[in-house]
Amino acid sequence: MKYVYIFIIYVISECLLAQKKLTPEEYIAAYKEDAVKEMYLHKVPACITLAQGMLESGNGNSPLARNANNHFGIKCHKEWGGETYIMDDDSANECFRKYNDVLESYSDHSLFLFSRSRYAALFELNINDYKGWCYGLKAAGYATDPKYPQRLIDLIEKYKLQELNVMENTPKQDLPSRHVINSDLSIREVYRFNHIKFVIAKENDSFYKIATDFNLELDQILDYNDLSKDDKLSYGQKIYIEKKRRRALEPIHVVQKNETLKSISQLHGIRLSSICKKNHLKPTDKLKVGDVIYLRQKKSNTK
């Protein structure tokens, strides 16, 4: 009976701890590294991601954040391929995206902005122009609240989040860890997107070093990433250490400046051969800004 009582006290304590509300400072400490990682991967300023997360999730305390790891209120939209969470919002029983962890929510937020043409102008801004980003988000229709830009700016300046935007002006930093593997180069950090594990290339890295760290053959790493031995590895590049999937989480991708089928394949974690098959294209085909690339279903042949 004594042990049952102790167990009940333990469970109650854990539940109370789980319900403890995060302060803004605690939220920043917990997720600032995730925001910095997304800045390196997708060029969304870290202070923007973090301020939006704070505002949209109530510092991680909203039911959507706690129950679905959704910190940006992103709804399912048509043909969302991941898990879902149903709750009342503007209407009853609305569908929201559900994530395995907060980092996945941050990654999907970046992808959401990057893959939609209406936000393309934001990526032409300097990474340190946080005010331009705040007003640009509103202008592009991200929020209906007329005070949305100023609310973001107030959060950024109050908590000095702009200091996280170190991408262009300071030495490169290690990105936040999820799973770590020891390597001769340094600590190897493993992330996950679209249910696929990947790493981020470091300075002086190589395909061979990455393959060796995970007991893979060089040809496997190249095959997983639709690369050849002639391709160059650059700092900050996303390298998958598992096969990419045949379908992405998003239904489509609208082509942005300088994008290729290969870069879209890496961005969404979908095999290049699958993209080509779904869109009746060859890997070497050129894309135009505004082209729609299908990522989950085949493009119709009808004109």
Boundaries of domain holding 214: 179-240
Residue 155 sits in the same domain as residue 124: yes
Residue 154 sits in the same domain as residue 184: no
Closest CA to 71 of 92, 85, 84, 54: 54
What is the structure's pLDDT at 65? 96
Instruction: Classify residue 5: in a domain, yes or no.
Output: no
- CATH of residue 283: 3.10.350.10
Q: Write down which residue in 104, 138, 164 finishes a domain.
A: 164
How many domains does the structure of the chain reveal? 3
Euclidean distance between CA atoms 160 and 130, whole angstroms = 12
Percentage of the chain modeled with pLDDT above 70:
85
DSSP state of 116: -
Instruction: Classify residue 12: in a domain, yes or no.
Output: no
Instruction: Classify residue 17: in a domain, yes or no.
Output: no
Instruction: Classify residue 247: in a domain, yes or no.
Output: no
Residue 160 sits in the same domain as residue 194: no
Residue 94 sits in the same domain as residue 208: no
Instruction: Classify residue 75: in a domain, yes or no.
Output: yes
Residue 132 sits in the same domain as residue 88: yes
Strands (E), 93-210: 94-98, 179-181, 188-193, 196-200
- The predicted model scores a pTM of 0.60
Q: Write down which residue in 240, 260, 282 finishes a domain.
A: 240
Residue 63 sits in the same domain as residue 139: yes
Closest CA to 267 of 112, 121, 141: 112
Q: Write down which residue in 195, 213, 240 finishes a domain.
A: 240
Would you write out the chain's pLDDT as a tens digit for each of its 303 residues? 544 444 444 444 444 445 689 999 999 999 998 898 888 878 899 999 999 999 999 999 999 999 999 999 998 877 677 889 999 887 888 999 999 889 889 988 998 888 777 888 888 888 889 998 998 898 888 888 889 999 999 999 999 999 888 643 333 333 333 444 444 444 677 877 788 888 878 778 899 999 999 999 999 999 999 999 888 888 778 899 999 999 988 888 888 778 899 989 988 899 999 999 999 999 999 999 888 999 988 888 754
DSSP state of 238: E
Residue 36 sits in the same domain as residue 157: yes
